[in-house]
Amino acid sequence: MHTADVVLIGGGIVGSSIAYHLVAAGCKSVLVIERETAQGRGSTGKSMGGVRAQFSTPVNIQMSLYSIPFYASFEERLGYPCDYRPRGYLFCATNEKHMAYLRANYEEQVAMGLKNVQLVAGDEIRGMFPLLRGNDIIGGSFCATDGFVDPNSAMIGFMTWASDHGATLWKNATVTAIARRGETFEVTTTGESVSTPVVVNCAGAWAAEIARMVGISLPVEPLRRMLVPTEPFDQFPHTAPMIVDMSTGFHFRPESRGFLFAWNDPEETPGYKTDFDPGFIEKILTRAADRVPVFENVEVNPQRAWAGLYEMTPDHHPILGESPEVPGFFFANGFSGHGVMHSPATGKILSDLILTGKTELIEASLLNFSRFAEGRMIHETAVL
């Protein structure tokens, strides 16, 4: 039987960031357990890599205010790249309701200390991107420090730094049981077992299965999300930010020599579906060509499109911190599609809570598990 001060179940970007933050804070006896033979086969490797501070709730904005500067200085801090590209996110509103929403969010973001966000007029957007169909765009908001990272590089950077400084990663080891033995847990895997006083659930879309092992019913549901990359395409500028058409939810960003298209299909239903549905291509291309008429000419190879899982909670905010029912068992779950951008903050918050019992990064009770039972859900509406 091995021992560790902290055991993290799941070696995606969240487990890796928590490992980094724990080790950086001086806790060296950290074990990350990953069931796959390589990291990144969960949601992290499927992500669009978008990072933004343009949220509607203060706690999400705060998480981004830690995470985005962290990504900007990632290589300096860790010695590994994360490919942060501050190209911005441009939200385009086509009706007064959406514009009022962006205005209210803008005021909240500025009040929280976000410096680079600005409201933009419809004419400015048409001037910046004449290839957008702009006749119905009445305005928008843009934040220059929003942008993209390479999720895989960030995850590997976090984990490699942690391993270089004392942490251990078990790959090809599926956690099958967690038993409470007095003050410690015995974590059983398909390989070896480990005894530890602290277990952190970092199992992404599979988090509810891990929670069930200690008798907790965790409200985290998998929801399929599909992305469509285009073939090389030069008729739209490759310097573009993430552009979000608020009338349909269609959004896209440059990727390699083409573009990456995303759209939240309202017909999608929860479940562990990771196959790509070819019928999605026509749905998304219709929305793409509607907002960017030259996208009528893009070519798409369905073999290159993919699907992954969002890990949804009822209020679209993560569940962070110690279980009130099972002391020593922590959650880092339910990012509802924002786990890459919020992984630096999550690592810091969990490391603070595990090592000192408190954190100054956010008001931790806002995101604790008890909020569901106590009717304190905080709805995020800026979900893409």
Ligand X SMILES: Cc1cc2nc3c(=O)[nH]c(=O)nc-3n(C[C@H](O)[C@H](O)[C@H](O)COP(=O)(O)OP(=O)(O)OC[C@H]3O[C@@H](n4cnc5c(N)ncnc54)[C@H](O)[C@@H]3O)c2cc1C
Residues that bind ligand X (CB under 6 A): 9-15, 33-36, 41-44, 46-50, 174-175, 202-206, 210, 225, 227, 308-310, 335, 337-341
Residue 26 CB, shortest distance to ligand X, in Å, is 23
Q: Name which of 42 and 140 has its Cβ closer to ligand X.
A: 42
Buried b (16+ CB within 10 A) or exposed e, 59-69: bbbbbbbbbbe
Q: Name which of 11 and 134 has its Cβ closer to ligand X.
A: 11
Q: Name which of 122 and 347 has its Cβ closer to ligand X.
A: 347
Q: Name which of 99 and 153 has its Cβ closer to ligand X.
A: 153
Structural tokens at position 19:
């490992």
- CA 341 – CA 351 distance, rounded (Å): 17
Residue 123 CB, shortest distance to ligand X, in Å, is 29
Q: 3-state class of 337 per DSSP?
A: coil
Helix, strand, coil percent values for the chain (each to nearest 5): 30, 25, 45
Residue 280 CB, shortest distance to ligand X, in Å, is 11
Q: How far is CA 341 from the centre of its chain?
A: 5
DSSP assignment letter at 230: P
Minimal CA–CA distance to 102: which of 125, 133, 84? Answer: 125
Q: 3-state class of 284 per DSSP?
A: helix
DSSP assignment of 28-53 equals --EEEE-SSSSTTTTTGGG---EE--
Structural tokens at position 193:
């077992």
- CA 204 – CA 12 distance, rounded (Å): 8
Residue 380 CB, shortest distance to ligand X, in Å, is 13
Residue 375 CB, shortest distance to ligand X, in Å, is 25
**Residue length of the chain:** 384
Q: Name which of 20 and 335 has its Cβ closer to ligand X.
A: 335
Q: How far is CA 339 from the centre of its chain?
A: 2
Residue 126 CB, shortest distance to ligand X, in Å, is 26
Residue 9 CB, shortest distance to ligand X, in Å, is 5
- CA 70 – CA 329 distance, rounded (Å): 27
Q: Name which of 160 and 294 has its Cβ closer to ligand X.
A: 160
Q: Name which of 37 and 135 has its Cβ closer to ligand X.
A: 37
